[in-house]
Amino acid sequence: MAQSVLKVVDIKKSFAGVQALKGVSLEIKAGEIHCLAGENGSGKSTLIKIISGVYTPDEGQIIFGDKVYSKITPIEAIRNGIQVIYQDFSIFPNLSVMENLAFNEELANKRKLVNRKRMKKIAQEALAKINFDVDLNAKVGSLSVASKQLIAICRALMLNARLIIMDEPTTALTRKEVNALFNIILDLKKQGIATLFVSHKLDEVFEISERFTILRNGEKAAEGFTSELDNKKFTYYMTGREFEDKPFVPTNVSEDPVLSVENLSMNGFYENVNFSLHRGEILGITGLLGSGRTELALSLFGIMQADTGTIKIDGEPVKLDSPETAINHGIGYVPEDRLTEGLFLPQSIGDNIIVSELDKLSSRLGIIDRDKKKEEIRQWVDKLSIATPNPDNACSTLSGGNQQRVVLAKWLSRDLKVLVLNGPTMGVDIGSKHDIHQILRRLAEQGLGIIIISDDIPEILTNCSKILIMRNGRISAALTPDEADTQVLARYMM
C-alpha cells in the first residue's frame, strides 16, 4: 500500500469570527491523483493555504510522513515536498523561461554573479523532467496559458516535489491543452508524485482523479473513490441541492427573427456566417478556441466590425460600428472575462448594477436620484438573488457566480432585444451555474433573444434550442439538441 505523503487531521480555521474550516481531515498517498472539490466559499482555498504554510490553523495537525506539525511555514512545506501552482502560476512575466526556472536555485545557493551557462543547464534539466520543448529565451509573458502552466510544473519538480497542488488548473485551457496536462499528471503519478487537483468541473474530476474529497460550508461533505461517484451524487455533495437537467424547450418564440446574420465575414476570423435568432430562443454557438466564435460575438456588439455581410435587427439592416450603436439597437454583451471587461471590481455592487442606466436615473441636470438608484439596485439584487449583505460593498467581495449575476443585472436593467453571452458560466461553481442557466431560460420565456457562446458542451446541449458549431471560421453544422450529443458536437468541432 502506498505511503501517505500528507495527512491533515481535524483542521479548524476562523477569520473574524467566521469559521472557514470546521474540523476537516484529508489524506493523500504517494502517486495518488486526488480531487479536492467544493463551491466557492467551501473552504478549499483556506485548506490549501494551511497545507502550504500560508495560513496557521486554529486547531488540528499537519502530518508529513512521521513529522507532525500544529503549524508550518511556507519553507517547511516546500522542504516536505509540497508545491502549489496557483491560478496566476506565480511566475515572472517580464523574465525569460530560463530565468524563471533558474531563479530559485540561484537564490537558494546565494550566488552573487549570474552565469548564463549554468542557468541554461538548470533550465534544460527542469524542462526535460516533463519533455517540454520551449524557447529558453522567450519572455514568459508572451507564452500561452498552457505553456506558463507547464513552466510552473517544471519549477515545482526542481524542488523535489512529492505533492503538487493545482488550483483550478484548466480554467483557461483548450480541450487539447487539458489532455496534454492530464498526460503530464499521469506521468507524475508513475514517478510517485501525488497531485491534488482542485476543481469543480465534473467531467475533469471523473476523468483524472482516483479519489475525491468534497467540502461544503467548511466541512467535509463526502470522500471516497471517484469510481463510486456519479454526476447526481457529486452535485448533491457540492451544493446540498438536487438538480434536474431537463433540456430547454422554448414556448414563447416570435414569428419573425429579432436578429438575422447574412453572409457575415471578417478577414482572418470568420466567413459566410448565416443564422437567425427569434425572441424566446436560446441559440448556442460552440467551437474550439480560434474557431471564430469570440470574434463573431464581438462583431455583434460592435467591437470588431465585419468586412462584408448584413446584420438585421427586427428585419432592418443595421451597421454595428461601436458598442454604443449595438446598445442603442437593444444588444447587450456579457464578455468572456468578467473581471477585466465586465465589471469595475473596486466599485460597489450597486454602482456596477446601475452603470448602464445612469441616464434613466438622472435628472436633466445630470444629478442621480438617490432613492430611484437605491430601489433599482434592491430590485436587481432580489431578482437575481445576488448574495451580499450590503450592495455598497465592493464588487470584488463577491464569488464568481455572484459577480456574473451583477454583469447580467447591468444589462437586464436596459430594454434589451438580444443578449449575447460569451462563456456565461466560466469559473462559476455548480450551484451558481445552475442558477444562471435558470435565469437565462426565464429571460427567454419573457421574450428575450439569447445567444450563448461556450465550449462547455453540456451547457450548450441542455440550455440551447438551436446549436451552431464553428470550425476554422465557418459554421460546420447547425443542429437541434435532439440531433446532437457530446460525441456529435466534438466531431464537428474537430
pLDDT at 108 over 70: no
CATH code, 435: 3.40.50.300
277 and 208 belong to one structural domain? no
Number of domains in the chain: 2
Looking at 239, 267, 289, which one is the last position of a domain?
239
235 and 288 belong to one structural domain? no
Which pLDDT value is given to residue 481?
Answer: 84
DSSP 242-288: ----PPP--S---SSEEEEEEEEEETTTEEEEEEEEETT-EEEEE--
Determine how β-strand 331-334 pairs with β-strand 67-69.
Answer: unpaired
pLDDT-derived band at 339 (thresholds 50, 70, 90) equals: low
The answer as to whether 246 is a domain residue is no
CA distances from 112 to 90, 106, 109 (A): 23, 8, 9
The answer as to whether 398 is a domain residue is yes
Which pLDDT value is given to residue 114?
Answer: 75
Residues of the chain with pLDDT > 90: what percent?
46
The answer as to whether 245 is a domain residue is no
The answer as to whether 117 is a domain residue is yes
Cα 409 from chain centre = 20
Q: Is 462 exposed, middle or buried (0-12, 13-18, 19+ CB in 10 A)?
A: middle
Which pLDDT value is given to residue 258?
Answer: 97
Which amino acid is located at 152 in the chain? A
Residues of the chain with pLDDT > 70: what percent?
98
Mean pLDDT over 330-343 rounds to 79
Alpha-carbon gap, residue 330 to 258, rounded angstroms: 10
pLDDT-derived band at 403 (thresholds 50, 70, 90) equals: confident
The answer as to whether 324 is a domain residue is yes
Q: What is the pLDDT of residues 110-149, one digit of tens each?
A: 777 778 888 899 899 888 888 888 999 999 988 887 888 8
Q: Which of 311, 313, 328, 333 is nearest to 421 (CA)?
A: 333
| Count of positions (residues) in the chain | 494
pTM above 0.85, yes or no: no
Domain with 376 in it? 257-493
Which pLDDT value is given to residue 76?
Answer: 92
Tell me which of 195 and 369 has the higher pLDDT: 195
Q: What is the pLDDT of residues 140-193, one digit of tens each?
A: 988 887 888 888 888 888 888 899 999 888 776 777 788 888 998 999 999 999
219 and 278 belong to one structural domain? no
Helix residue spans in 33-135 (DSSP H): 44-51, 74-79, 97-108, 116-128
The answer as to whether 250 is a domain residue is no
Which pLDDT value is given to residue 50?
Answer: 96
Which pLDDT value is given to residue 175?
Answer: 72
313 and 436 belong to one structural domain? yes
Alpha-carbon gap, residue 442 to 303, rounded angstroms: 28
Cell of 170: 484548466
Which pLDDT value is given to residue 369?
Answer: 79
Q: What is the pLDDT of residues 454-480, one digit of tens each?
A: 988 889 999 999 999 999 999 998 898
Mean pLDDT over 273-292 rounds to 93
Q: Which of 454, 481, 451 is nearest to 247 (CA)?
A: 481
Which pLDDT value is given to residue 340?
Answer: 66
Q: What is the mean pLDDT of the chain?
A: 88
Q: What is the pLDDT of residues 369-380, one digit of tens each?
A: 788 888 888 988
Which pLDDT value is given to residue 1?
Answer: 61
Cell of 289: 478556441
Q: How far apart are the first and last CA of the chain?
A: 41
